Amino acid sequence: MNTEIKKLIQELEGVVSCNLTGVDEIDEIHIIADKKRDPKRIVRDVETVCLVHKDFKIDHKKISIARIDSDFSEAMEGYANDRIELVSIYTENNRSRCNVEMKINGQEIKESFEAQIGENIEKLIGRSVLTILNKFVEFNLQLIVDDIFTIKGKEDLVIAQISMYNPENNMMQEKLVGAVHVNNNISLAIAKACLKAVNRKICNYL
């Protein structure tokens, strides 16, 4: 449980890294965060992630936050953001179709995707974004959407869970998690959560 919770926390907006203490249960959560967000909001996000995703309630007094200006990983994520731009994304009301417009290294890309059998709209959006990345970024691994869900609260939070596979042997290499607040546009939030999950991994390939 601790590993999954740690990954979710590390992808929260404003969190640079975190460490969890405790063996069977989490005793304390120590977080390094940037100065862009109020620490109280980060604490609320951590409480929500623990409660909703793992049905685990942690006392806010056990969550400590140290704030810094920036770090290397944040700089690298910014590097990727400069080269991958989500211009627009929308779904059509009368059919399960997702239309995506992105810029990758200055190249404008517009593609449209139909939902697969049994695929919900959230996974369709995630698959659409990752399909473009798999196609236009020279990345030696394949990105696959595992799950996308929303955590309800004062500020709704979209969580994107993504796996990286080696296409040569079809073996899963690593699981990635991205989290983004919903600001009146769930489609955009889902797409941004997917990009947040993979940015640090693909920045060296841009």
Give me the CATH number covering residue 163.
Answer: 3.30.160
Question: Final residue of a domain: which of 23, 38, 70?
Answer: 70
pLDDT given for residue 80 in this prediction: 54
Q: What would the DSSP string read from start to end of 103-137?
A: EETTEEEEEEEEPPTT--HHHHHHHHHHHHHHHHS
**Mean pLDDT for all residues in the chain:** 83
Residues facing residue 21 across a β-bridge: 28
Q: Give pLDDT tens digits for 159-191.
A: 888 999 998 898 888 888 888 888 888 999 999
Q: For residue 47, give the CATH number of its domain.
A: 3.30.70
Both 179 and 123 in a single domain?
Answer: yes
pLDDT given for residue 144 in this prediction: 94
Q: Give pLDDT tens digits for 127-152.
A: 999 999 999 888 788 999 999 988 87
pLDDT given for residue 206 in this prediction: 56
**Domain range for 42:** 2-70
Both 96 and 32 in a single domain?
Answer: no
Report the number of distinct structural domains present in the chain.
Answer: 2
Model-level pTM?
0.65
